Structure 1
Amino acid sequence: MLQAAVEQAFNAVVITTADLQGDGPHITYCNPAFCQLTGYSAAELQGRSPRLLQGPLTDQRVLQRLRDSLHQGTFFLGSTFNYRKDGSAYLVEWNISPVRDAQGQIQAFVSVQQDITARVEAQQRQALLARALHATRDAVLIADHQAHILFVNQAFEHLTGYASAEVLGCTPQFLQSGQHPPAFYTQLREALARGDSYQATFTNRHKRGHLYHAAQTITPLKDDTGTVQHYVCVSKDVTELVTRTQELRQQAHHDALTGLLNRYAGEKQLQRCQQAAQTDGVGYALILADIDEFKQINDRWGHEAGDQVLLRCAQLLSTAVRSGDAVVRWGGEEFLIVLPGCPLDAAHSLAEHMRTTLAAQEDATVGQVTMSLGVAAWQAPEDSAELLRRTDQALYHAKGQGRNQVAVAR
């Protein structure tokens, strides 16, 4: 049974004599796996020294350790290059054990060997890939089919602030910032479930707490049957680009002094409200506010004081409106407030609140500052230009009636 097991073993087995003199020891037995490994037949190996398998790439340091172990009668484990009968090299891993008789004398050595060339080459390729991934400036994350992280490169550590040891085995959810709506992640999951790649700019949270923006591509990796086994995510830090874009958008749509929407953005808001009114019947109202005697403020107190008055009025108007309303610096000292879905009476009450609140405050330099306001609500089938004209007429009426009052266009 033992002989049959050795004959049929997957690993190569060779037995040699214990003679260490001359070119000894010599092969006394080898199984078929050893013959297949070396390319020699059993007859060709019988009585030969295993040294016939050595060649230029055979590591002499390993052989010296081997000889030391044989002389000491201890177990040996090592690996180096050997050569087949056809001259081709292979990387062999072998262990050698002494076989002793009843008196403890070494009678033979038995060696179990395995060709590890493919395994080492795979390890080397894997190491090369890891070095390449660490060398790239883009952050790379590899996860299993359940999104548990298996690998991150050094660029990922730099981008996120997390060390590799902190994230392995986790899912990437710890990077979520709360800045994306649930639908964003729903689209991500649906795309990956279909086996599709997903590309988007993510707003993530750094380990230190601040936000960063990353252009990410997440790709499913499938096996030969088409089953997703892994996911690879490549991220590029685009924080500077996103920040600059936001700044440009802010500059393009907001007034530099007050931070309110500028006239261009206000006109866009008017168009959206007008579209909703015409298609869905959702009305809207406008308030046009003008600071009373603003030219005199500039002439008497200077433009710096005038700018402070504009800022204070802008802050008051912004604080008074709802989150979906728009406050626009329409021009000079004039402000337009766009109120989607707001009836005329509510807009009138809001305008009166704005007027009284401003009039009750004292500016440290100028003293009392007042506003005149005109109010109008959309009436089908008028367009936004007609509604704006009626609102302006109401403002003109309020100015004409003595200022610091609200006039409503009915």
Structure 2
Amino acid sequence: MPSSGNNETILWNALFEASWDGMVVLRLDGSLYRVNHRYAEMLGYTREELEALHIWDLDTRFSQPEIEAMLHSVDSGGAHFETRQRRKDGSVIDVELSNNGATYQGDKLIFCIVRDITARKTTEERLRQNEALLQGIASQVPGVLYQYRMAPDGSRSFPYLSEGLVKLGGLSIDTMAGAEVVPLMSRILPEDADLVEAQTRRSAATMENVHVEFRFRHGDGSIRWIECRSTPKQEPDGGILWTGILLDITQRKRAEERVQAMAITDGLTGITNRQEFSRLLDREMERASRYASPLSLIMYDLDHFKRINDRFGHNTGDDVLKTVADLVGDSLRDADLHGRWGGEEFMVLLPHTGLEAASRVAEKLRQTIANHRFETLGFVTASFGVVELAGGENSRSLAQRVDEALYRAKELGRNRVEARASHQDAQ
């Protein structure tokens, strides 16, 4: 407040009354020395009514002793804080105070600018409640809610990761969020990382949603399948922000693998079933024809298997089939294919193998079976037919020829190998 000069007094009064904020001058004893129209309007009093009060009559946050101590501590350096004041009608508003101490005509006064921040505090509280609500929802979502940003310079970051990351990835949010994406992205298996990056770049170019599945190394070292779904949004600076969800689909993937395995595997022996073996046979025949490489097929059948079932029961017969399948499987190369054709009949497909070499393999298998002693029933034998794929031959003809070779081995006394070199029956 000016100390002299009529013109300065007029200017001060004009500024005091024209202010958009409430203005009040306090004495050290807490009484209101002067208030402007805005402050009176803010609290619903007349100026005369306010100037008859003390500041602790209005303040609902601090006690009278606290306010008295604050008044005596204010100096020319000022003080800034928030409090709450009661209006004449009893309602309470949030206010922000900026105080400065000064001496006027020998008295120390406190000059205060008072701003009503009730609307701002209400908005802040609503935002806090919304944030708490979103945090609560995010904590219940069975996955990770996230935001992933690609800046105009190509740098990447995760502005937001929900707490689900702790469970889904076994990782700490503090170490995964922020500017660096390397700790999180580096856990995607290398064989899947290129697919994820390609999907991201495609989405950035087309603004299409991302939907990709990939394998991720969990914090405990295990491998998990993750499904990612997100929606991109162009930002004002040219960056792109994806908002999405990560779901752990490991159990679903394992179930799908089990279903797929059941569809192609013989339930008793655990080796390829007839349908899948037929599909693989067609594939290998096409490959052999394309590269002009030899391909041979072995078919074997357990001798007098019906007698085993009749004498010892079907459980024993099943055990024999499983054991024989294991014995043969252990004697084959990784490239060879082994399947159950039906009943006690089995097939072995030998890529890159001619008739002579295939016959030696069949003889080795025959001896392996014949030399194995089974509990309860002792020894069993098997008969083998062997054929080599001929030019222009189809799978039906090849299967028919190997069946005839096996039949010939049985006719000649069983427990032997018969090979057929010609394909006069091919179609």
Q: TM-score, normalised by structure 1?
A: 0.73
Q: Does 1:309 align with 2:312?
A: no
How far apart, CA to CA, are the structure 2 residues paired with 1:376 and 1:108? 109
**For the Cα contact (< 8 Å) 2:402–2:420, is it kept in 1?**
yes
Could you tell me which residue of structure 1 aligns to residue 168 of structure 2? 159
Find the partner of 1:19 among 24, 27, 30. 27
1:173 positional shift: 3.1
Is 1:200 the equivalent of 2:209? no
How far does residue 193 in structure 1 lie from its aligned partner after superposition?
Answer: 4.8
| Alpha-carbon distance in structure 2 between the residues aligned to 1:149 and 1:299 | 68
Give, in whole Å, the separation in 2 of the partners of 1:50 and 1:231.
57
Runs of 4+ in 1 over 6 A off after TM superposition: 12-15, 46-51, 62-66, 112-116
* Identity percentage of aligned residues: 25
AA aligned to 1:252 is A
- What does the per-residue CA deviation read over 1:196-225, in whole Å, with 9 as the maximum and x for residues that have no partner? 432133343443444443432144443035
Say which of 403, 407, 424 aligns to 1:396. 407
- 1:362–1:22 CA distance, 2 compared to 1 (3 A): closer
Spell out the pairing of 1:289-300 with structure 2 (5 A cutoff). 289-300=300-311
SS of 2:32's partner is: coil
Give 1:6-405 correspondences, 5 Å limit: 16-19=24-27, 24-26=32-34, 60-61=60-61, 67-68=67-68, 70-74=70-74, 75-78=79-82, 94-99=96-101, 106-109=108-111, 111=113, 117=120, 120=124, 125-145=130-150, 146-169=155-178, 171-173=183-185, 175-176=187-188, 180-181=191-192, 183-194=194-205, 195-228=207-240, 230-277=241-288, 284-405=295-416
Bigger radius of gyration, 1 or 2?
2
CA contact (8 A) 1:217 1:235 kept: yes
The alpha-carbon deviation at position 328 of structure 1 amounts to: 0.9
TM-score by length of 2: 0.70
- The CA deviation at 1:396 is 1.9
* Residues 329 and 336, structure 1, Cα contact 8 Å, conserved in 2: yes
Q: CA deviation at 1:384?
A: 0.4
Amino acid in structure 2 at the alignment position of 1:295: K
- Which residue identity lines up with residue 82 of structure 2 in the other structure? G
**Separation (CA, whole Å) in 1 of partners of 2:222 and 2:409:** 49
* Secondary structure, aligned partner of 1:26: strand
1:210-255 Cα distance to aligned partner (Å, 9 max, x none): 4443432144443035422x33331334344333333222222211
TM-aligned CA deviation for residue 188 of structure 1: 3.5
Write out per-residue CA displacement over residues 152-205 of structure 1, whole angstroms, 9 at most, x where no aligned residue.
Answer: 324443333434345334543365357x55653454444355354321333434
- Please provide the CA RMSD for this pair: 4.4
Residues in 2 aligned to 1:261 and 1:59: alpha-carbon distance in whole angstroms: 84
Structure 2 stretches lacking a partner, 5+ long: 1-14, 42-46, 422-427
Q: Is the CA contact (8 Å cut-off) linking 2:294 and 2:388 kept in structure 1?
A: yes
* Per-residue deviation, 1:331: 0.8
CA 1:397–1:185: 2 relative to 1, 3 Å: farther
Question: AA paired with 1:139?
Answer: V
Cα offset, 1:291, TM superposition = 1.9
- Secondary structure of residue in 2 paired with 1:60: coil
Equivalenced residue count is: 377
Q: Structure 1 residues 142, 325: closer, same or farther in 2, change over 3 A?
A: farther
Measure how far apart 1:310 and its partner are: 1.1
Amino acid at match of 2:148: A
Indicate conservation of the 8 Å contact 1:26/1:47, yes or no.
Answer: no
Against the structure 1 CA distance between its residues 282 and 148, is the aligned structure 2 distance closer, same or farther, given a 3 Å change threshold?
farther
